[in-house]
Amino acid sequence: MRIRITNVLLMPGVTNEAHIPFIPDAEVLVDGSRIAYAGPKAGAPAFEADEVIDGYGMLAMPGLCNMHTHTPMTLLRSIGSDLTLDRWLNEAIFPVEKHLTDEAVRAGSDLGIMEMLRFGTTSFNDMYMHMDMEAEAVRDSGMRALLGHGVVDFDESCADLAPNIALIEKWNHAADDRIRISLAPHSEGATTEKVLLKIREAAETYHVPIHIHVSETRLDYDGSLNRRGLTPPQYLEKLGLTAHPVLAAHCVWMTDEDIELFARRGVTVLHNPMSNLKLASGIAPIAKMLKAGCRITLGTDGVASNNNLNLWEEIKLMPMLQKGNTLDPTVVSPAQTIAAATSAGAKAMGYEDLGQLKPGYLADLILLDLSGAHMCPCNDLESNLVYSAQGSDVALTMVNGKVLYRNGVYTTLVPRLVLERARKQAGSLLERAAQAAK
Amino acid sequence: MRIRITNVLLMPGVTNEAHIPFIPDAEVLVDGSRIAYAGPKAGAPAFEADEVIDGYGMLAMPGLCNMHTHTPMTLLRSIGSDLTLDRWLNEAIFPVEKHLTDEAVRAGSDLGIMEMLRFGTTSFNDMYMHMDMEAEAVRDSGMRALLGHGVVDFDESCADLAPNIALIEKWNHAADDRIRISLAPHSEGATTEKVLLKIREAAETYHVPIHIHVSETRLDYDGSLNRRGLTPPQYLEKLGLTAHPVLAAHCVWMTDEDIELFARRGVTVLHNPMSNLKLASGIAPIAKMLKAGCRITLGTDGVASNNNLNLWEEIKLMPMLQKGNTLDPTVVSPAQTIAAATSAGAKAMGYEDLGQLKPGYLADLILLDLSGAHMCPCNDLESNLVYSAQGSDVALTMVNGKVLYRNGVYTTLVPRLVLERARKQAGSLLERAAQAAK
């Protein structure tokens, strides 16, 4: 399929921290799964298109990367709100997750993918269970994802990593390379040293990244100090994990040494500002991490601690929270924010040719409708994009050169059926959990 | 006009801090400007309707009150982003505001009202200049507003309050009582004692509330201590202003004594969490104020420090920020949040019959479409409403019994013309400012 998007305002991608570039009256040419051209209309090459999309009044930009989520948890949306983290996990989340089935995970995955596509997310990084089901949902929907089977291992019972290796062998680079696999130890506190060393070994053997929760809460930080005499980042360094690509979710409780270590090692920080507020974990020192040269990306976390998958909310919240918390309005630029939501995430997922609209790059892009009252007037497009735009402004979402969402219409999902199945599976999941609690 | 909204999920209004009530399969009957009935369909009285609105799959709830904004500043959207407050005011905002005209204020007011209606705001509390123009915009659009002419008075030159009194005499209770007028001294720092005493007198004479910025920044707080030996709340108390209804915007830098004073005096706090982050003013101690019994309401502030008028963003941010900042996820309930955005605001505007959907109350309401993927499943409607909903879910906005917005269509505004005029007026305003700067 060859698609021409014409008469569009183009944001080809963020390449520095100071400014977001825009090109008016541009054209994007998509040939199969890749960008053939993205630039001024006047300079576009001859191109026989199967479909022409009029982008008048819209912004074409790289699709968003939701870099930390647990997609099937959409079925648990709004469960356990306003509880302490301990009660949220032990009374609300864990008792239900014990009763997950393949069917529930498939239904939750489809629902999450449907929501992400609507709000302009074109790829996501996930850690959960029943991952064959989630991989099938990604394959069938046309989405792009980095998937990891979560390893929770208090007693070395998971130390053979069998489900992780099986997932890699079956799915890594599958579905036209839209699916990639990570190794996903839950956290310092929820895994044994033995399993982390096995994971380091597997990361080396299979060349896959490691996705792990790091210093999400004060308790994580203090616990690691008590157990190991080391902060979680220091512990990962000691075990040699940081010699491999590490995607570290949260990083709320970080010492200056932790930040310096992650910057030096090129660890990618997966920042989830909304979830960190909702679970009262705190406010990650993102302004400081950016200054130190850390790689910052953005995520929603699972919907049970958010409670949606609209990455535009995180885009606005990331700079706002840093300004308010440091009492310095100049920290965290729009360019740094959009980079975190697009190019930095794409790179952390292991793609060298994703996250920007450049010839040869994978065609993951969105069209943003700029015509709303809330985007008028356009005195400063960068500011409007980061501080005024709504997830609902997304008019079109394309992954791998294929339009998956456009003006309320999905091409690979049937919304009525996705919603119906999700409601049904959520209902029976909660019922099983309630029965078991009796 | 008699309207029946049927087959709807009803949220009649928040009356306690613990829970938001919901009534399934309900009906709302609107007779002229007032609610005739709101309750179970089964109990609805006989009612001859001119129009029937099918509310299937939607939530009918009180319209939102945006309790602190400067609506005409929509023309300055995104100007001066990411600057320190001092530079933002002195380099970006003041030099432009000097060149405001009646035409600009009218254009900005229409644009702001258009945006607010789209996101479900049915009334707002404003302080600005050229207020005749804003009042005309409110009159013509069908909106409801409390309007105040801002008094900035460093040298007692405004001490006769002539524009304020003229505004009261011309507009208070005008347009079917949709327009009410306040007295709006800017702040402790930007007004003289003489003018504040005159304002107290006028508040008594005309029975209108006082709208004022209080302790927005650390500088406001320190400045007041230096100038008066009193915090801004103590100074208002000393001058006797707190004996009248006071609407105090921001209240970020508050001592425990200030909080106790405002609770005891029934001062209404106008909380603007997004603006306070963006301008790096800080995080208002809302959880503490709620505990102390303060009246809390929500606002967006002007769009130049937000940068939109979508109150749903403040609805999500208010509880989130308090949880994250206090490290206690149990503070600020969904009910407290929705009360702040609806009933508490209506009351603070001086209406005893607004902010809930009850027989005899004014018919300011919205329909919220619950069918989006981001609202599914509905395990907890209170949580979905506060943490998952989007401003774009608003399907219908009614003020004073009249539908002003429905599924993208406005009944009193012509969007194309509003946007065109706003762009034009913003352009010439900025050009005048640039010319003058040369």
Partners of residue A373 in chain B, C-beta under 8 Å = 111, 114-115, 118, 415, 418-419
Cβ atoms < 10 Å from Cβ of A34: 16
Alpha-carbon distance of B6 to B429, in angstroms, equals 46
Alpha-carbon distance of B394 to B381, in angstroms, equals 16
**By C-alpha distance, which of A67, A175, A171, A59 is closest to A116?**
A67
Chain A: give the shortest CA distance to residue B239, in Å. 31
Alpha-carbon distance of B386 to A214, in angstroms, equals 28
Alpha-carbon distance of A315 to A140, in angstroms, equals 28
Tell me which amino acid residue A40 is.
P
In a shared domain, residues B57 and B104: no
**Is A374 a domain residue?**
yes
Distances B202 to B10, B158, B174, B182 between C-alpha atoms, Å: 41, 14, 19, 10
Touching check for A414 and chain B: CB below 8 Å? no
Domain ends where: A348, A372, A398? A348
Which pLDDT belongs to residue B377? 98
Q: Do the Cβ atoms of A141 and A118 come closer than 8 Å?
A: no
Touching check for B333 and chain A: CB below 8 Å? yes
Crossing angle between the packed helical segments A102-118 and A415-437, to the nearest 10 degrees: 140
Give the residues across from B62 on adjacent strands: B365
**Is B53 a domain residue?**
yes
Chain A: give the shortest CA distance to residue B372, in Å. 8
- Record the tokens describing residue B238, joined without a space: 């000393």
B431 exposure class (CB count in 10 Å sphere: 0-12, 13-18, 19+): exposed
Q: Is the dihedral of CA B200, B201, B207, B211 positive or negative?
A: negative
- pLDDT of chain A along its 438 residues, tens only? 999 999 999 999 998 888 999 999 999 999 999 999 999 999 999 999 999 999 999 999 999 999 999 999 999 999 998 888 888 989 999 999 999 999 999 999 999 999 999 999 999 999 999 999 999 999 999 999 999 999 998 887 877 899 999 999 999 999 999 999 999 999 999 999 999 999 999 999 999 999 999 999 999 999 999 999 999 999 999 999 999 999 999 999 999 999 999 999 999 999 999 999 999 999 999 999 999 999 999 999 999 999 999 999 999 999 999 999 999 999 999 999 999 999 999 999 999 999 999 999 999 999 999 999 999 999 999 999 999 999 999 999 999 999 999 999 999 999 999 999 999 999 999 999 999 988
Tell me which amino acid residue A271 is.
H
In a shared domain, residues A135 and A105: yes
In a shared domain, residues A52 and A94: no
- Record the tokens describing residue A116, joined without a space: 């992400």
Touching check for B267 and chain A: CB below 8 Å? no
In a shared domain, residues A212 and A319: yes
Alpha-carbon distance of A388 to B43, in angstroms, equals 43
Alpha-carbon distance of A256 to A281, in angstroms, equals 18
Are A281 and B320 within 8 A, CB to CB?
no
Helix (H, G, I), strand (E, B) or coil at A348: helix
Which pLDDT belongs to residue B433? 94
**Is A359 a domain residue?**
yes
Q: Do the Cβ atoms of A388 and A399 come closer than 8 Å?
A: no
Number of domains in chain A: 2
In a shared domain, residues A359 and A380: yes
In a shared domain, residues B76 and B133: yes
- Record the tokens describing residue B399, joined without a space: 């003020």
Domain ends where: A348, A377, A393? A348
Which pLDDT belongs to residue B325? 97
Alpha-carbon distance of B69 to B167, in angstroms, equals 18
Range of the domain at A194: 65-348
- Record the tokens describing residue B287, joined without a space: 């959880």
B positions 359-378 inside 8 Å of A (CB): 371-374, 376-378
- Record the tokens describing residue B97, joined without a space: 């505001």
Partners of residue A422 in chain B, C-beta under 8 Å = 376-377
Are B279 and A329 within 8 A, CB to CB?
yes
Partners of residue A84 in chain B, C-beta under 8 Å = 328-330
Looking at residue A55, which CATH number applies to its domain?
2.30.40.10
Give the residues across from B298 on adjacent strands: B271
Nearest to A422 among B75, B115, B377 (CB): B377
Q: How many CB contacts within 8 angstroms connect chain A with chain B? A: 220
Considering only alpha carbons, which residue of chain A is nearest residue B408?
A372
In a shared domain, residues B293 and B189: yes
**By C-alpha distance, which of A22, A30, A82, A50 is closest to A280?**
A82
Are B274 and A84 within 8 A, CB to CB?
no
Alpha-carbon distance of B432 to A297, in angstroms, equals 41
**Is B17 a domain residue?**
yes
Nearest to A81 among B313, B326, B383 (CB): B383
Domain ends where: B348, B365, B383? B348
Which pLDDT belongs to residue A157? 80
Cβ atoms < 10 Å from Cβ of A292: 17
Cβ atoms < 10 Å from Cβ of A149: 25
In a shared domain, residues A240 and A339: yes
Helix (H, G, I), strand (E, B) or coil at A157: coil
Nearest to A115 among B82, B373, B384 (CB): B373
Are B78 and A378 within 8 A, CB to CB?
yes
Query: Please, which residues have CB within 8 angstroms of residue A201's CB and are 6 or more apart in sequence?
Result: none
H or E element that contains B366: strand B365-369
Which pLDDT belongs to residue B157? 80
Are A380 and B320 within 8 A, CB to CB?
no
In a shared domain, residues B99 and B239: yes
**Is B429 a domain residue?**
no
H or E element that contains A34: strand A34-40
Distance of CA A405 to the CA centre of its chain: 18
In angstroms, the first-to-last Cα distance of chain A is: 55
ipTM value for the complex: 0.97
**Is B286 a domain residue?**
yes
**No. of H helices and E strands in chain A?**
17, 17
Query: Please, which residues have CB within 8 angstroms of residue A86's CB and are 6 or more apart in sequence?
Result: none
In a shared domain, residues B135 and B272: yes
What pLDDT digit, counting tens, does each position of A5-32 carry? 999 999 999 988 889 999 999 999 999 9
A positions 278-307 inside 8 Å of B (CB): 278-283, 303, 306-307
Alpha-carbon distance of B222 to B229, in angstroms, equals 9
H or E element that contains A366: strand A365-369
Question: What's the whole-model pTM score?
Answer: 0.98
Best residue in B75, B250, B337, B376 for a mutation probing chain A (most A CBs within 10 Å): B376
Nearest to A373 among B118, B372, B380 (CB): B118
Residue A139 — φ and ψ, nearest 5°?
-55, -50
A239 Rama class: left (phi>0) / alpha (psi -120 to 50) / beta: alpha
Give the residues across from A28 on adjacent strands: A5, A38
In a shared domain, residues A134 and A261: yes
In a shared domain, residues B109 and B185: yes
Looking at residue A323, which CATH number applies to its domain?
3.20.20.140
The radius of gyration computed from the CA coordinates of chain B, to the nearest angstrom, equals 21
- Record the tokens describing residue A397, joined without a space: 């979402």
**Is A419 a domain residue?**
no
Helix (H, G, I), strand (E, B) or coil at A314: helix
Touching check for A82 and chain B: CB below 8 Å? yes
Cβ atoms < 10 Å from Cβ of A50: 9
**Is B412 a domain residue?**
no
Helix (H, G, I), strand (E, B) or coil at B332: coil
- pLDDT of chain B along its 438 residues, tens only? 999 999 999 999 998 888 999 999 999 999 999 999 999 999 999 999 999 999 999 999 999 999 999 999 999 999 998 888 888 889 999 999 999 999 999 999 999 999 999 999 999 999 999 999 999 999 999 999 999 999 998 887 877 899 999 999 999 999 999 999 999 999 999 999 999 999 999 999 999 999 999 999 999 999 999 999 999 999 999 999 999 999 999 999 999 999 999 999 999 999 999 999 999 999 999 999 999 999 999 999 999 999 999 999 999 999 999 999 999 999 999 999 999 999 999 999 999 999 999 999 999 999 999 999 999 999 999 999 999 999 999 999 999 999 999 999 999 999 999 999 999 999 999 999 999 988
- What's B52's DSSP letter? E
**By C-alpha distance, which of A379, A363, A109 is closest to B74?**
A379
Tell me which amino acid residue A349 is.
M
Which pLDDT belongs to residue A176? 97
Which pLDDT belongs to residue B438? 86
